[in-house]
A and B are shown apart, each in its own frame.
Chain A
Amino acid sequence: MSDSNVLEVKGLEVTYSTNRGDVKAVRGLDLAVRRGEILGIAGESGSGKSTLAVALLRLLKPPGKVTAGSVMFHPAGRSPVDLLKVQGEELRVLRWSALSYLPQGSMSSLNPVMRVQDQFKDVILEHAPARKETLRELIPTLLSQVGLEPRVARMYPHELSGGMKQRVLMAIAVALEPDLVIADEPTTALDVTIQRVILQSLADLRTDFGVTLMVISHDMGVHAQLADRVAVMYEGRLVEVGDVRQVFKDPRDPYTRQLIESIPRVGRRAS
């Protein structure tokens, strides 16, 4: 089964050292991500799900530190690597063409002084210089894939709405057809109607580009709508992993049940 997995996390442990002792944000986590699936990571704030994303992307900054574990990554057409061990140039080459990142759209992840097309260009030319000739068609195609007009390419980030920024980030994330996209709260801070559209485009990206998606969200509704499988985290541990229907229908862990019950429903008022 191991060749059908894109990512195999074993015993991952992430610690933040503070002056009042160490805090373990992720504790002995084991997780496998299957090729082509959409895996949802659920959990309340502080459960360690964002730390997990940052650690996998190797963007963890001090005082955060990976203290144990291994993360085997199997990019298509390349030899498998341990994401926690690769360094420098080897890591830089791996980024985006194999492992890309979809940050939260409300964050200012786009460079404010560069046109949208230049933010596509720099990453494409960095990792796939051969595509230089096709850039003129490639960028509008990518933009239309996420439902944006070609003229957006010539705009600056401050001229875009939150939803448009999120779409631009999605288009950049899949520009090089990576093996795995890690999306950290892709719909947070967007209004509900835009959330739905963004989730639909994310699902479309999987069909169009065949990428594997790891979606981190505190919103169980997102997982219900988008994910194939859900992993639930609580206090740095994985409490449950399973098929999305099974988890929602018959949650094994009491915490998962609470999470599912936290989804607001018509007719049930907060007391």
Chain B
Amino acid sequence: MTAEAPPVTTVEESSRTTPVTGVRAWLSRHPLAAYAIRRFGLYLVELWGALTIAFFFFRLIPGDPIRTLLQTLQQNYVYNQQASAEVIGRYRHEFGLDGNIFSQYLKHLSNLVLHGDLGPSLINYPTPAQDVILQSLPWTIGLLGISAVLAWILGVIVGAIAGWRRGKIGSAIATNLSIALAHVPFFFVALILVYVFAYSLGVLPARSAYDSNLSPGFSLDFIGSVLKYGLLPGLSIVVIGTFGWILSTRMLMVPVLGEDYLVYAEAKGLKPWRILTRYALRNCYLPQVTAFGISLGFIFNGNVLVEQLFNYPGLGTTLVTAIRQLDFNTILGVTDMAIFSVLTAVLLLDLLLPLLDPRVKYWK
């Protein structure tokens, strides 16, 4: 870095800035890179802090997972009533529960960061917790991720149109319907959908993620079955999520409509759709992008009920099973997963915002 050749600068510029070489000079010439590096550093600190809090928090939960494990083994294999101290000690070591809490913490963190290892799970012993999570992760991302994206896109489009055409009857219907339904819980809608489509009409399945007669794979039948089984749980999330996004987008849209540049765009004789997208929506949808990043966190905890209701093999179901059996490693793993996704999403969005709106500048 130190031997870097100075770039071609004008006389005025080079006389003003004293010749600083090395990293500092490079950073001052590339403010965006400097910002990105600083922001990434903050991200690492946030990640470390959140993972630490999660670790200690779960250690506060009363109960002994080893005792639970031994009970399970006893029930299943009519095991020796009194496990020897040696056996218990071995299990404690395996689950990372030996030593004082700080050495446990250090071991947990180094295993997680260096090897991506969470230790064995309890609900599916001896499968490692990360494997248990990775099994259910695709289902959650597939169902909840796609539903969340769909709800956002639909909500922003309808909300923008509702704001644009305020005072018109269609806008009034969309707005009032959204006010009425935006805060209805997902599972309530899910119950209604199940009752109507699965129970009364019997046209759509309401349990599991795919037809159990098919074997998972990239066959047309299997994918079709996944879509069919995902329709009801997906719909229950999209329907309610969309109403929320409609309301908030409309709220952002209305004040923008009074701006001078919209009157000017009208005077320019541009097509109404173009004014709506390039002039009105472009100037107000930024908060929605940030809100979307934050809402991704709810994929990991907000929709446990939906997954439970539809018996969907996603993270939510895994999490509930893990909590019931005090499976420390899996609970912690799911939590870490949520922490990681939300922080990463917010990081990416932060880096993306200056590209979406030229007025956003974090750097000087």
Q: How many residues in A have their beta carbons less than 8 Å from beta carbons of B?
A: 27
Given contacts A101-B264, A108-B259, contact A113 B269 (CB under 8 A): no
Residues B278 and A114 in contact, CB atoms below 8 Å apart: yes
Min CB distance A35 to B, Å, is: 21
Contact between B279 and A111, CB atoms less than 8 A apart? yes
Closest A-chain residue to B264, C-beta based? Answer: A109
Q: A16 at the A/B interface (Cβ < 8 Å)?
A: no
User: Contact at A101–B267, with CB atoms within 8 Å?
Assistant: yes
CB-contacts of B259-277 with A (<8 A): 259-261, 263-271, 274
Given known contacts A112-B283, A113-B357, A113-B358, A123 and B269 CB-to-CB distance under 8 angstroms: yes
- In the complex, whether A31 has a CB less than 8 A from a CB of chain B is no
Minimal Cβ-Cβ distance residue in A for B269: A95
Q: Which of B264, B269, B270, B359 contacts A103 (CB 8 A)?
A: B264
Give Cα A96 to B269, complex, Å.
Answer: 7
Q: Which residue of A lies closest to B263 (CB)?
A: A59
Q: Give every chain A residue within 8 A of B274 (Cβ-Cβ).
A: 122, 126
B282, A123: Cβ atoms closer than 8 Å: no
| Residues 305-355 of B contacting A (Cβ, < 8 Å) | none
Q: Mostly helix, strand, loop or mixed at chain A's interface?
A: loop
Of A113, A156, A158, which one neighbours B282 at CB under 8 angstroms?
A113
For the complex, give the distance between the alpha carbons of A106 and B271 in Å. 25
On whether the beta carbons of A111 and B268 are closer than 8 Å, the reply is no
Write the nearest CB–CB distance from B31 to chain A, whole angstroms: 15
> Shortest distance in angstroms between A135's beta carbon and chain B's nearest beta carbon?
16
CB pair B269–A126 under 8 Å, yes or no, is: yes
- Report the bound CA distance from A264 to B359 in whole Å: 40
Pairwise interchain contact A112-B261, C-beta atoms closer than 8 A: yes
A94 to B261, CA, bound (A): 19
Count of B interface residues, CB-CB < 8 Å: 20
- The answer to whether A192 has its CB under 8 Å from any CB of chain B is no
Q: In the complex, A36→B357 CA distance in Å?
A: 41
User: Contacts A114-B278, A122-B278, A156-B359: A59 and B261 contacting too (C-beta < 8 A)?
Assistant: no
Q: A92 at interface (Cβ–Cβ under 8 A)?
A: yes
Let me know if B260 and A113 touch, CB within 8 A. no
Contacts of B279 in A (CB 8 A): 111
A100 contacts chain B at the CB level, 8 A cutoff: yes
Q: Are A95 and B267 in contact (CB under 8 A)?
A: yes
Decide if A108 touches B260 in the complex (CB within 8 Å): yes
Decide: A111 and B266 in contact? CB cutoff 8 A.
no
**Are B259 and A123 in contact (CB-based, < 8 A)?**
no
In the complex, the answer to whether B268 meets A126 with C-beta atoms within 8 Å is yes
A-side contacts of B358, CB under 8 Å: 112-113, 115, 156, 158
Q: Which residues of B contact A110 (CB under 8 A)?
A: 261, 264
A112-B261, A113-B359 given; A59·B283 CB < 8 A: no
- A68 CA / B312 CA spacing, docked (Å): 67
| B269 near A112: Cβ-Cβ < 8 Å | no
Contact indicator B267/A57 (Cβ below 8 Å): yes
> Are A96 and B268 interface neighbours, CB within 8 A?
yes
Is A127 interfacial (CB-CB < 8 Å)? yes
Residues A113 and B268 in contact in the complex (CB < 8 Å), given A108-B260, A108-B261, A122-B274: no
CB A179 to nearest CB in B, in angstroms, measures 14
Select from chain A the residue with minimum beta-carbon distance to B274: A122
Query: Do B269 and A92 touch (CB < 8 A)?
Result: yes
A33 CB to closest chain B CB, in angstroms? Answer: 18
Distance (whole angstroms) from the CB of B124 to the closest CB of chain A: 51
Closest to B270 in A: A126
Contact of B283 among A97, A107, A109, A113 (CB under 8 A): A113
Any chain B CB within 8 A of the CB of A23? Answer: no
Q: CA A126 – CA B268 in complex, angstroms?
A: 9
Residues of B within 8 A of A115 (CB): 358
State how many angstroms separate the Cβ of B289 from the closest Cβ of chain A.
13
B-contact bits for A86-101, CB 8 A (1 contact / 0 none): 0000011111110011
Contact residues in A for B267 (Cβ distance below 8 Å): 57, 59, 95-96, 100-101, 103
Complexed CA–CA distance, A260 and B45 (Å):
68
The chain B residue with its CB closest to the CB of A118 is B278
Which chain B positions have C-beta within 8 A of A122? Answer: 268, 270, 274, 278
Bound together, the chains give a CA A126 to CA B259 distance in angstroms of 22
CB distance from B357 to the nearest CB of A (A): 6
Contacts of B264 in A (CB 8 A): 101, 103, 109-110
State in angstroms the CA–CA spacing of A254 and B239 once bound together: 68
Q: Are A127 and B266 in contact (CB under 8 A)?
A: no
A109 to B283 alpha-carbon distance, docked (Å)? 13
> B-facing mask of A102-143, CB < 8 A → 1, else 0?
010001111111110000001100110000000000000000
> Of B261, B270, B283, B359, which is within 8 A of A123 by CB?
B270
In the complex, the answer to whether B261 meets A109 with C-beta atoms within 8 Å is yes
The answer on a CB contact under 8 Å between A92 and B271 is: yes
In the complex the two chains form, is B357's CB within 8 Å of A111's CB?
Answer: no
| Shortest CB distance A92–B (Å) | 5
Q: Which of chain A's residues has its CB closest to B279's CB? A: A111
A-B contact pairs, 21 of them (CB 8 A): A57-B267, A59-B263, A95-B269, A96-B267, A101-B264, A103-B264, A103-B267, A109-B260, A109-B264, A110-B261, A112-B283, A112-B358, A113-B283, A113-B357, A114-B278, A115-B358, A126-B268, A126-B269, A126-B274, A156-B358, A158-B358
- Chain A interface (Cβ < 8 Å from any Cβ of B): 57, 59, 91-97, 100-101, 103, 107-115, 122-123, 126-127, 156, 158
Interface residues of B (CB under 8 A from A): 259-261, 263-271, 274, 278-279, 282-283, 357-359
